[in-house]
């Protein structure tokens, strides 16, 4: 159980009221959406991707790229917006990323991305809200 204190906290009932059942399964129960199922995978406009759980800015669209995995992928997050933990589920060792403000599960980060960082933040689209640039 995660005992880390986050700036934004909600009761389970508040999370369920705020999130759709799919968002709740992904963000609060560390689930994964079906690959290719989220419209944000195809979002190409300039703008910012925010956490659905607390509205924190997470990624700028200029750092989004097509990874071919079926999930929105980014080179680098907005500074200090993402925290990571070791995920040992499903017999694998991966790096889980979650929102630094509310602790919601977002996806995983891998070291197979393009330059300059070499990182691929593989994010569940249902955990994101996109706002186009003005």
Backbone φ, ψ for residue 26 (5° rounding): -75, -55
Cβ atoms of residues 72 and 32 within 8 Å: no
Q: Is residue 122 among the annotated active site residues?
A: yes
Q: Which residue, among 131, 132, 126, has the nearest Cα to 19 in the 3D structure? A: 126
50-83 burial, b if ≥16 CB within 10 A, otherwise e?
Answer: bbbbbebebbbbebbeebeeebbbbbebbeebbb
Residue from 51, 54, 102, 122 carrying the catalytic annotation = 122
Edge-to-edge order in the sheet of strand 57-60: 57-60, 47-51, 128-132
Active site residues: 122
């Amino acid at each position: 159980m995660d005992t880390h204190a986050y700036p934004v906290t909600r009761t389970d009932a508040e999370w369920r009221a705020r999130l759709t059942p799919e968002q709740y399964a992904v963000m609060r129960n560390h689930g994964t959406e079906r690959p290719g199922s989220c419209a944000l995978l195809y979002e190409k406009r300039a703008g910012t991707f925010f956490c659905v759980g607390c509205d924190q800015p997470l990624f700028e669209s200029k750092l989004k790229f097509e990874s071919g995995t079926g999930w929105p992928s980014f080179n680098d997050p907005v500074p200090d917006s993402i925290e990571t933990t070791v995920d040992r589920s499903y017999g694998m060792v991966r790096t889980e990323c979650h929102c630094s403000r509310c602790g919601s599960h977002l996806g995983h980060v891998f070291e197979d991305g393009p330059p300059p960082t070499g990182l691929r933040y593989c994010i569940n689209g249902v955990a994101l809200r996109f706002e186009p640039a003005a």
